[in-house]
Structure 1
Amino acid sequence: MTKLTNRQAKVLELIAEHIQKVGYPPTIRELGDALGIRSTNGVNDHLKALEKKGYLSREDAKSRTLRPLYWPNGEAFDLTPGVAAQTDAAMEPDSDVHQVPVVGRIAAGLPISAIEQTEEVVAIGEGLLGRHPDLFALRVKGESMIEDGIFDGDYIFVRKQSDVRDGVIVAAMVDGEATVKRLFREKGQVRLQPANASMEPIYVREEDGRETSVLGAVVGVFRRLN
Structure 2
Amino acid sequence: MRSRLNPTQQKIYEYLCHCQEQGERFPSGAELGERFGMSQQAIWKNLKVLERLGFLEKEPNRARALRPVLPQDSHSVPLLGRIAAGRPIEALELPQHLPLGDMLPPAEGYALQVEGDSMIEDGIHEGDIVIIRRQNHAFNGQTVVAIVNGEATLKRYYHEGSQIRLQPANASMQPIWVGPETPFEIRGIVHALLRRF
- Any conservation in 1 of the 2:107–2:134 contact (CA below 8 Å)? no
Pairing 1:159–2:133 present: yes
Structure-2 residue corresponding to 1:123: 98
Structure-1 residue corresponding to 2:110: 136
Shift of 1:117: 5.6
CA, structure 1 residues 215+115, in 2 after alignment: closer, same or farther (shift >3 Å)? Answer: farther
Structure 2 counterpart of 1:213, which letter?
E
Structure 1: gaps spanning 5 or more residues: 1-94
Coordinate RMSD, CA, aligned: 2.0
Q: Give the greater-gyration-radius structure (CA).
A: 1
Superposed, 1:98-113 pairs within 5 Å as 98-107=75-84, 110-113=85-88
- Any conservation in 2 of the 1:103–1:118 contact (CA below 8 Å)? no
Match of 1:181 among 155, 171, 175: 155
CA, structure 1 residues 167+133, in 2 after alignment: closer, same or farther (shift >3 Å)? Answer: closer
Structure 1 counterpart of 2:80, which letter?
V
Superposed, 1:33-72 pairs within 5 Å as none
Instruction: State the distance in 2 between where 1:195 and 1:139 align.
Output: 17
Match of 1:147 among 89, 105, 121: 121
Name the structure where strand makes up a greater proportion of residues: 2
Structure-1 residue corresponding to 2:31: none
Structure-2 residue corresponding to 1:216: 188
Instruction: State the distance in 1 between where 2:105 and 2:175 align.
Output: 33
Shift of 1:125: 3.6
- Any conservation in 1 of the 2:76–2:101 contact (CA below 8 Å)? no
3-state DSSP of counterpart to 1:182: strand
Structure-1 residue corresponding to 2:171: 197
Name the structure where helix makes up a greater proportion of residues: 1
Give TM-score, length-normalised by structure 1: 0.51
3-state DSSP of counterpart to 1:120: strand
| Alignment deviations for residues 99-142 of structure 1 (CA, whole Å, 9 cap, x no partner) | 210111111xx310245265332433423x13545110011111
Shift of 1:164: 1.2
- Any conservation in 2 of the 1:170–1:180 contact (CA below 8 Å)? yes
The runs of at least 4 aligned residues of structure 1 exceeding 3 Å deviation read 130-133
3-state DSSP of counterpart to 1:116: strand
- Any conservation in 2 of the 1:98–1:131 contact (CA below 8 Å)? no
Instruction: State the distance in 1 between where 2:92 and 2:106 align.
Output: 19
- Any conservation in 1 of the 2:77–2:100 contact (CA below 8 Å)? no
Shift of 1:163: 1.6
- Any conservation in 2 of the 1:138–1:157 contact (CA below 8 Å)? yes
Give TM-score, length-normalised by structure 2: 0.58
